[in-house]
Amino acid sequence: MHSVSAADSGKRISLHGTWSSRMAFILAVTGSAVGLGNIWKFPYVAGENGGGAFVLVYLACVFLIGMPVMMSEILIGRRGRRNPVATMALLGEEEGHSRQWLWVGGMGVVAGILILSYYSVIAGWTLAYVVKSVGGAFSGADAETVGNIFGSFVGDWRLLAVCHTLFMALTVFVVARGVERGLEQAVRVMVPALLILLLVLLGYSVTSGSFRSGVEFMFTPDFSKLTWDSVLAAMGQAFFTLSIGMGAIMAYGAYLPEETSITGASAAVVTADTSIAILAGLVIFPLVFANGLNPADGPGLVFQTLPLALGQMPGGAFFSTLFFVLLSFAAWTSAIGLMEPAVAWLVERYQRSRAQAAMIVGTLIWALGFGTVLSFNLLADLTFYKGTLFDNVDHLTSNIMLPLGGVFIAVFAGWIMCRNSTADELGNTGTAYKVWHFLARYVAPIGILFVFLKAVGLLDWVAAAFG
C-alpha cells in the first residue's frame, strides 16, 4: 500500500493507507475470498447436501444476496476508513442514528477470529501434506492407503497442534508487517497459479472415466435431497467463500482508493471466487466417483480424494507438492484477511503497534484453535448440538453469525445510510445503483432472515403458535 496525502479532496483518510491499484484490491480480496472455502469446503458441503440442487441454490445466494452484501460492506468500509467497529459507530452517528451499530462491526471481528481458529487448523493440514507429497507418500497409493494416512494424521493431536502453530506463526508474521506490496505481489502470482493448476487437474479429471458422473452430480438438481438446512448451508457457504459478514471485506474496503468502482471490483471478485469453487467441484467429484469414494465424506474429502488422484498421475509427487503449496498460499492470504479487522481495531483503539496487535490477536486465535485440533482425536466423542467442537464453531459462524452480519450490513447500507452517501461511494445513480439498492434493501435481508428463521425452526414455531 502507499500512503494517502493529507490534502486528498476532503475525504476521510484511512489510517493504514490505500491499495496501490484497482487490480491490487481485486487480487487482495480475491485472495482473501479464494481459499479453503472454495477448494476444501465447497465440494464436501455440496456433497453432503445432494449436489446439483445445492449448487443452484448456492449460485442464487451468491449473486442475489452475496454480491449486494459485498458491495454494501465495501462501500461502508471505504466511507468510514477505519476498522469495522469504529466504522460502524462513526457512520451510524454521521447518518443521524446510533453509535450502537458498532456491535455489527464487533460481531464481524469476532466471527473472523472464530473462523480463523479452525481455519488455521485445516490450513495446517495443507502444510503437512506438502511434506507428505515431497516424500512421495501418495505416489501409486490406493484409496485405502490414502485414507489410512489421513486417519493417522488427524488422530495425532500433537502433530495437528504443530501444524496449526506453524500456520498461525506465518500469518502473524505477515499481518505484523502490514498488508503491503509484498502481499500484493504474492497474490498476483499465487491466485493465477492456483487457477492454472486447477485447470491441469480438470484435464486429468476429464479423462478419469467418471467425469460425466461428476458433472451430473453437480448440475443435475435433485430437489428431493434439498432441505431448509441445505438452503441455509448454501447461504452460509456463499458468505464463507466470499469472506463477507466477517469484517475482512470492510477492512479491505477501508483501504480502497476513491476512484475505484465498487460495482466493477465486486463483480470481478464474485465471478473469480465462484468460478474457482465450481472448478474445484468439477475437479474433485469425478475423481470421487472414479475411485469409489463418497461425495459426502466431509472435511477430509479434499485431503483424501486429491492425493489419491494426484498419486496416480505421471509426476504425481511433483503435482501433489505444487497443489498443496498453492493451497497453503491460498489459505494464507485468506487468514491474513480474517486477522486484519481485529488487528486494525487494536491498533486504532489502543494505539498498539501492528506487531503487538498481531501477536495478541494471533495468540488468542491459536489458543482457541486447540478446540478444533482436539475435535478430530481426543475430543472426537465429545459431541453436542451439531457435533464436535469444530462442527459447532463452524455452524455458529457460517450459519448464524455470517448471515446475521449480512442482514445488518445490508440494512445499514440500504436503509440507514442516505441515498447521497451510498450513491457517492458507488459512483452512480443509474441502473446498477438501482439494482443494488433494491437487492440490498429487500432481497438480501428478507431472503437471509427467511432462510435463517426457517432453518432454525422459528417459522414453524410461529406457524404452529398462530395457526
Average pLDDT over residues 396-416: 91
Q: What is the pLDDT of residues 308-322, one digit of tens each?
A: 888 877 788 888 898
- How far is residue 25's CA from residue 16's CA, in Å, rounded to a whole number? 14
Cβ count near 15 (within 10 Å): 15
- How far is residue 162's CA from residue 124's CA, in Å, rounded to a whole number? 8
Grid cell of 283 as nine digits: 475437479
Q: ∠ CA(105), CA(111), CA(117), 5° rounding?
A: 145
Q: Output the average pLDDT for the chain.
A: 87
Q: Is residue 14 part of a domain?
A: no
Q: Is residue 348 part of a domain?
A: yes
Q: Is residue 249 part of a domain?
A: yes
Number of domains in the chain: 1
Flag whether the pTM goes above 0.85. Answer: yes
Pair 301, 233: CB distance under 8 Å: no
Who has greater pLDDT, 334 or 305? 334
C-alpha dihedral over 352, 104, 124, 283, to 10 degrees? -140
Q: Is residue 3 part of a domain?
A: no
Name the DSSP letter for residue 101. Answer: G
- Asked if residue 451 has pLDDT above 80, the reply is no
Q: Is 246 helix (H, G, I), strand (E, B) or coil?
A: coil
At residue 16, the pLDDT reads 65
Q: What are phi and psi of 246, to 5 degrees?
A: -125, 15
Find residue 218's DSSP bridge partners. Answer: none
- Asked if residue 357 has pLDDT above 70, the reply is yes
Closest CA to 54 of 267, 225, 260: 225
In order of 228, 241, 271, the CA distances from 160 in angstroms are 34, 24, 34
At residue 179, the pLDDT reads 60
- Asked if residue 169 has pLDDT above 90, the reply is yes
At residue 225, the pLDDT reads 83
Segments forming the whole domain that contains residue 76: 22-466
- Asked if residue 289 has pLDDT above 80, the reply is yes
In order of 30, 50, 210, 260, the CA distances from 26 in angstroms are 6, 32, 35, 10
At residue 117, the pLDDT reads 98
At residue 175, the pLDDT reads 86
State percent of the chain over pLDDT 90.
47
Per-residue pLDDT band for 183 (boundaries 50, 70, 90) equals low
Q: Is residue 42 part of a domain?
A: yes
Who has greater pLDDT, 302 or 76? 76
Give me the CATH number covering residue 161: 1.10.4160
Cβ count near 234 (within 10 Å): 25
Per-residue pLDDT band for 180 (boundaries 50, 70, 90) equals low
Q: Is residue 8 part of a domain?
A: no
Q: Is residue 303 part of a domain?
A: yes
Q: What is the pLDDT of residues 320-337, one digit of tens each?
A: 898 888 788 888 888 988
Who has greater pLDDT, 336 or 465? 336
Average pLDDT over residues 409-429: 91
Q: What are phi and psi of 2, to 5 degrees?
A: -120, 155
Grid cell of 115 as nine digits: 473462523
Q: ∠ CA(4), CA(171), CA(376), 5° rounding?
A: 145
Rg (CA), the chain: 21
Grid cell of 368 as nine digits: 482457541
Q: What is the pLDDT of residues 27-52, one digit of tens each?
A: 888 888 877 778 878 888 888 888 89
Q: Where are the beta strands (DSSP E) in 163-284?
A: none
At residue 6, the pLDDT reads 35
Q: Is residue 160 part of a domain?
A: yes
